[in-house]
Structure 1
Amino acid sequence: MLQLGSTYLYVNDMDKSLDFYEKLLDIKVTSRNFNRWAQFNFGGNCIALMNQSFDAERFKNNEHLDEYSEDYLDEYRDFHITYGNNFVLNFYIEDLKAEYERLKTLNIGQLSKMMYLNVAGPYHFFTIKDPDGNTIEITGNLKES
């Protein structure tokens, strides 16, 4: 049976994305491998950031190619990424309104309005965009004041 190793996102600017995700998740990055890879661990789960331009720059300059297999070079030498909105990360929080206000104060990305739907059951959520335009959905309990 396959087991999920990590979910990773291609990012265009590692430092900008690390800053965004550290603020969004309210934790520091768990580990980082140069400007190529970084990950945030949540117990047995992981979200990672992958900067493919790290490899692309090496390929372009013919540097450190011995660190890659020929098959990897054949597959990824001309790899092109279209950034933005290729996935949705969904997070849950107990107090949705407080989290909305926290992210609004941080001003780290474009926030949607607080939304509601009731298709299979009541569902409150909002979204925020990361630096590459990916949508992060945050849902939880909407505690009335």
Structure 2
Amino acid sequence: MACIVGGIVWFSAQHYKAEGKYTAQENKQYTVALNHLREEIKQLNKTSVNHQIHKSTRLDSASMNERDKVVIYELTLLDISQADIRHISDGKKSKIKAVEKQNLIQKLKADVHSGPLFEHGWSMEFIQKTREGDLLSAITITHDDMLQPPAGDRHNVI
């Protein structure tokens, strides 16, 4: 009987140690990811804010709020005007926004630093404006979004 109890205690201790290492590893990954994010935001603000970051996209601001665990990117789509979107139905706008959200999720899933942030309650908001500065969309990505399986066919939305 003492042998069985000893075995259970030993197994429990080993299991506890393994869990402790896993938690420590998770915390290390989170710390690395958070430091990477801080540096990325700092660099974006230093080199990319108010500059074109893609063919027709300007980064207006990049910020993070560590207390609320949110990152906010504000972008202007230089090739889209308010007049361009007036004729698009609300249903079509919703589909376009859903596709854009799925594309962002896939990019974030491919980034090794994103996972630990989302697992620790972070969210990322992408605010897109027309070239005149009117709000086009505000897309928020959360941990729950990152858990969703990939959406089906994302082609032929527009």
Q: TM-score range by the shorter chain?
A: under 0.3
TM score, norm. by length of structure 1: 0.25
Greater helix share, structure number: 2
- Larger Cα-atom Rg: 2
Structure holding more strand per residue? 1
